[in-house]
Structure 1
Amino acid sequence: MDVSRETSAPAVAGSLFGSRLDLAQRYAMSLATSGVERGLIGPREVPRLWDRHLLNCAVVATALESGAEIADVGTGAGLPGLVWAIARADVRMTLIEPLLRRTVFLEEVVADLGLDNVDVVRGRAEEVDGAYDVVTSRAVAPLPRLVGWSMPLVRPGGSMWAIKGASVSDEVPAARSAIRRSGGTNVRVTTYGEGIVETPTTVLQIDRIP
């Protein structure tokens, strides 16, 4: 496999990453090489790194407010957290991940790319002491459990952004009690990337009562 060709950025990536496209390209290369070697992503994902993963996350980053403090719960290989931190140098990102091999990879990527707006925290969401404007995740757990992990980290007036599949609305009824207990309100499903990517990204957003 020609990894360089497989991880070459599509033209649309320039509009999402701007002057930091080179950083995104280097991150893609890290995922395709070290990420695969360490079992963080499957080798079959390499040809679709951009379409299925990087662009899928990057289209959401455009909606973040400048100066926002964000936590990515169960970030894994850095999706969406590292993508957002690359695309938006004006936000502060905390990557939360319990597995050592993943946090080692994340710390190496952050150092290699010189990202000064990222902190890597090894631990479970329940163990983290903090309050954030946005708490995000991507395909981490069923919604009731995810709400229990994420909402306690959302500061009053902030919100939880869960990147999930298009059928995420079907998960909401089972999570209603967890949402109420956590002070959640204004539950909505938003899509990002229409006209930019082939499959827009679906995000379930829940505000925390101020």
Structure 2
Amino acid sequence: MVDETAMPADASRDPLKRRVGDPFVPEEATGAVREFFGPAFGDVQEFVHMLEDEGEIRGLVGPREMTRLWSRHAVNSAAVLDFLPRKGQVLDVGSGAGFPGIIIAISRPDLDVHLAEPMLRRCEWLMDVVETLGLDNVTIHQARAEELRGKGKADVVTARAVANMSKLIRMTSKLIAPGGRLVALKGRRAAIEVDEAATELKRHHLAAQIHEVPSIMEEESTYIVVCTRV
């Protein structure tokens, strides 16, 4: 992908010293979630804190989501991590507030992570996050997925709450490198969406597999749809 926005790393912060006892940090975030994210927990926590401070004001998350930033967003986004390559480039389309793209960048500093988001105010937010966290493996593109065609291909294209599978395949197929894959976060309708996308899967020479990933914070699982070239 074209390198449009690169942010310098800043190793001087210590986010774990912030906000002990915050009302939006559940008990799980100091126990099971801390263990779940491992070394990445500090930066994930700082990212969630930023959303607590500015997410609603900047129109990134709704008021009902404020108490579910860990369970519904941070932990949910981490479900893609087991489906990423050992090395290479990841393109997250429709990054919005940064899910799952920022979670990927924090958790996998060895990957070259590109965030594609068409809205300027969301890109400005993503730039703020990248600068605050010192993420030097992130490039931000103010663009729709379709506008990136011909500018490069990624080993993995990720998406969360962007479109149904049929539309998502049309949007991203030409952005997937040979041997690469599309990794989409879905809910309980994942199997229905895959069935409805049968024609698009065939047209774009893709095969889909659905993986259920149990949540450590909610009863409902996350479903990961992995589409690979046939």
Query: Do the two structures share a fold, i.e. TM-score over 0.5?
Result: yes
Partner residue of 2:181? 159
1:6 aligns with 2:24: yes
| Counterpart residue type for residue 201 of structure 1 | T
CA-based RMSD of the aligned residues comes to 1.8
**Gap regions ≥5 residues in structure 1:** none
The amino acid of 1:4's aligned partner reads D
Match in the other structure for 2:70: 50
Match of 1:75 in 2: 95
Measured at CA, do residues 193 and 85 of structure 1 come closer, stay the same or move farther in structure 2, by a change above 3 Å?
farther
**Which consecutive unaligned segments of at least 5 residues does structure 2 have?**
1-19
1:107 maps to a residue whose letter is M
Q: CA deviation at 1:168?
A: 1.2
Secondary structure of the residue that 1:104 maps to in structure 2? Answer: helix
Contact 1:183–1:208 under 8 Å retained in 2: yes
> Could you tell me whether the CA contact under 8 Å between 1:93 and 1:119 is conserved in 2?
yes
Q: How far did 1:124 drift?
A: 0.6
Cα displacement (A) at 1:80? 0.5
Shift of 1:67: 1.3
CA distance in 2, matches of 1:82, 1:16: 16
Query: Does 2:147 match 1:140?
Result: no
- The whole-number CA distance in structure 1 between the counterparts of 2:87 and 2:25 is 30
Contact 2:188–2:223 (8 Å) recurs in 1: yes
Q: Which amino acid aligns with 1:202?
A: Y
Q: Mapping of 1:176-191 within 5 angstroms?
A: 176-185=198-207, 187-191=208-212
Q: Structure 1 vs Structure 2: percent identity of aligned residues?
A: 38
In the other structure, the counterpart of 1:62 is 82
Task: Give 2:171's aligned amino acid.
Answer: W
Task: Give 1:23 shift.
Answer: 0.6
Q: Secondary structure at the match of 1:4?
A: coil
Shift of 1:10: 4.1
Partners of 2:130 and 2:97 lie apart in 1 by: 11
In the TM superposition, 1:110-121 aligns within 5 A as 110-121=130-141
In structure 2, give the amino acid aligned to 1:200.
S
Q: TM-score, normalised by structure 1?
A: 0.91
Letter in 1 for 2:41: L
Cα contact 2:80–2:183 (8 A) shared by 1? no
Letter in 2 for 1:159: R
Q: Is 1:202 matched up with 2:223? A: yes
Residue 59 (structure 2) pairs with residue 35 (structure 1)? no
Secondary structure at the aligned position of 1:6 is classed as coil
**C-alpha displacement of 1:3:** 9.2
| Secondary structure of residue in 1 paired with 2:209 | strand
**Greater relative contact order (Cα < 8 A, sep 6+):** 2
Indicate the residue corresponding to 1:106 in structure 2. Answer: 126
When normalised by structure 2's length, the TM-score is 0.83
1:25 aligns to what?
A: 45
Of 160, 174, 180, 2:196 maps to: 174
Mapped to 2, the partners of 1:173 and 1:59 lie a distance apart of 22
